[in-house]
Amino acid sequence: MKHVTFLYTLLIPILLNAQNEGVTSYEIDLRVPEKDIFSEHLKLGGKNFKGTSYEVNNFYISKNEKPSIPITGEFHFSRYPEAYWEEAIQKIKAGGINMLATYVFWNMHEEIEGEFIWNGNRDLRKFIKLCAQYEMPVILRIGPFGHGEIRNGALPDWLLAKPITIRSNDPNYLSYAERLYDEIGKQIEGLLFKDGGPIIATQLENEYQASAAPWGLTYPGQPLDYTSAERDKDFVLNGVGTSTQENPYADLGTDHMRVLKSLAQQAGIITPFYTATGWSRGAIIPNETLPVTAAYPYPTWTKSPDLSPFYLYADLHKTPDYSPVKYTVSDYPAFTAELGGGIMATYTRRPLVPAKSLDALINRCLGSGANGIGYYMYHGGSTPRGQTNFFSDEAFGSPKISYDFQAPIGEFGNINESFHRLRILHYFINSFSEQLAPMQTVLPKNSESIKPADTVLLRYAVRFKDQSGFLFLNNFQDDTQMTTQKNVQVNLQLEEGNLQIPEHGGFDLAVDENAIFPFHLDIEGLHLNYATAQLMTRFENSGTTYYVFFSPEGTSAEFSFRFDESFKMLSNRSIEVDQNSRRWLVKPISTNKSLFTFTKGKKKTSILVLSKEKALKSWLIPGPTESQLLFTDALVLKNEDSLKFISKGKNDFDLEIFPKTKQVPRLSFGKLNKLQSMNLFTGFEVHLPEAQLEFTSSRFSERRLVFDFKGGIPESLNDVFIKLDYEADTAMGFYDNQLVSDQLYLGMPWEIGLRELINLKGAEEMNFYFRPIYKDAPYLVDLKESAYFTGSTGKVLIKDIKFIPQYQTSMSLLSN
């Protein structure tokens, strides 16, 4: 895709409301000065011996001199079983994530002073090597302070006993920080970017002078004592928010960050990028650290739900979220690296994060100029127990074990709806970031007057460069009900003429839906005036270039191409075409899938249009020269020479392949039946033998359940989940007299993966204890909207128990 230079004024007319009865028209003026992009001031980036290079300017990051948009997924290796790290990385990559962030929690590695632990689930080196194996770049968050809902924000308990000032340039504190960095440096030696390894960035400290965690050593009823330098205690926040006070010790904060960077480099931790928390006046090193920002629409550190501003478009390159900030905003890219990929429940607050809120948030951030996005968390986990205490942030009211976070990939590796909704957006970013990253944001004139409570006005923004760009639309807002957008037109006022989307009439956008519509884009030399469908990906196969679009829920797809005599459009019964001397107007007839093709000489360009429901089942399987799309309800993981399918609860599932193939794949386990001839796709039915589980449950009393796992998990399965539909205040699972799992009730069923417990620990029995919800519990403010919560208090309700097998099989990669 190339930027378009117009040679003549566009001829598509502007249709007024009088000519389009019932249409609601909006406009946006794109006749603005071009974005000023510069880089001389920044001491960031680098090149390794393999020739791979990273650069950064004030607007975007480049890899090998091409603009790119990092998509960062947070995953904590120390919160997940070492035996399943490889699968976790595969899942993260399958979701379209192109960079992984992970914490090195100091207290997990040096719980006892001077005794470092780097084995088992804390084997940092092994984890980074696995990231290298799957070509997954890493941001290493080295602390010393880490937060992450870890006890003391990852500071070891023994620091509280020392006569030092933490998180400051106190020489005694720095000596401990230096020792930590030296140990980390030894573990990652040879695995840094400069050595050809995957570690491309280092985060120094975390939320420094912005927020802190409570010390874990506390007393019931006592106000929390926060882990900040004494001088900063009056200025740091409880959680992520907007700072209202300017810290008079800000310069000391900058000095401390400089010292930490120096200590890290002395320890051999040398990376192209150093990042730092930029929100809420967080301290950075000017021009030497990349400030990253955050957005949490469902915070647990507020007293009740409220409408957040994070679903209203803004110019993040002028005003970041949680402003004011300490740095010069226009000097750095807008890297929204800590977006709430869910939220962690606390005892007093338990908001449910709807799956549709996540892709709406990313749409809004991209439309607002973000050139880097990241999720905290993307993959959940379980916080381990230490030798002396639980490592979880008990003082803050976190679960003692669970760190599910309602993330796209949950605590036990379970795939949630948000994973699929984000994946198709990640495909778009990964395919078109070279075009999107340099595009500046323009907002409509009324953007500043729209408030989160406004549910009727259209929310929209544009990113464009050289007259080419994307129209961003969002119809989601947290904690309220939006209005369906019906019969909407958007008029783009450009230097070279006006463009109306759509040409006639209007488009609809369903409640809670969002969309990204391209305009004036070059598609292999063919000029796309606009589309009311969302661009998902681009790939090559058998000499044809495929562009894949999908129709947002409630929206009819329409494509306007500039007429070009050098192209020939192949007739197709699945579309309607209106052609005149100016353009082809293409409307798919099928609401599920349609394909149409343009040819120019021997070159073929095909447009595949899917329903969003179909797109959510799509999996892009990249190859060295050719790629394919697979469609299935199963999770698809790519190995070097095979695909692994994981199907939760279904031993039979369909598999469709696009483009069509004559090959019949072979399964490692189970049977494959080819379906009758299908239009566009080659279809198969996968049949796996139904698992016979010997698991039982019994209710010992109102508050106690006993599960028997004798017989274990059959070797043919990937995992088995308990799905426990219950109602209680808290639920706790015990094995061998130890708490191994827990949940603060969220108003939804609890699913617990059993393979670690059974396969790794040899469990045959697990006992659960429940505590009833009490009247006027503070978290009832969050449960009231749940469809699962009946409102009962004072009793424990066990409504249903299921054991769900997770099937698996593999097949070799196909080629046409």
pLDDT at position 96 is 98
Q: Does domain 524-638+652-687 have CATH number 2.40.50?
A: no
pLDDT at position 590 is 84
pLDDT at position 13 is 32
Beta strands in 348-453 (DSSP E): 372-376, 381-382, 402-403, 440-442
pLDDT at position 623 is 84
pLDDT tens digits for 63-87? Answer: 999 999 999 999 999 999 999 999 9
pLDDT at position 678 is 80
Distances, alpha carbon 213 to alpha carbons 277, 446, 575, in Å: 15, 39, 58
Domain boundaries, the chain: 1-35+440-519, 46-434, 524-638+652-687, 696-810
524-638+652-687 and 696-810 share one fold? no
CB 236 within 8 A of CB 263: no
SS3 178: helix
pLDDT at position 21 is 67
The residue type of 143 is G
The residue type of 695 is F
Residue for token pair 């007299």: 737
Which helix or strand (DSSP H or E) is residue 514 part of?
Answer: strand 514-523
- Identify the CA nearest to 586 among candidates 552, 540, 551: 551
CB 631 within 8 A of CB 619: yes
Pairing of strands 99-103, 468-474: unpaired
pLDDT tens digits for 486-508? Answer: 999 999 999 999 999 999 999 99
Which CATH number among 3.20.20.80, 3.40.50.300, 3.40.50.360, 3.20.20.70 corresponds to the domain 46-434?
3.20.20.80
pTM: 0.96
696-810 fold: Immunoglobulin-like (2.60.40)
Mark the ranges of the chain whose per-residue pLDDT is less than 70: 1-21, 815-816
The residue type of 114 is G
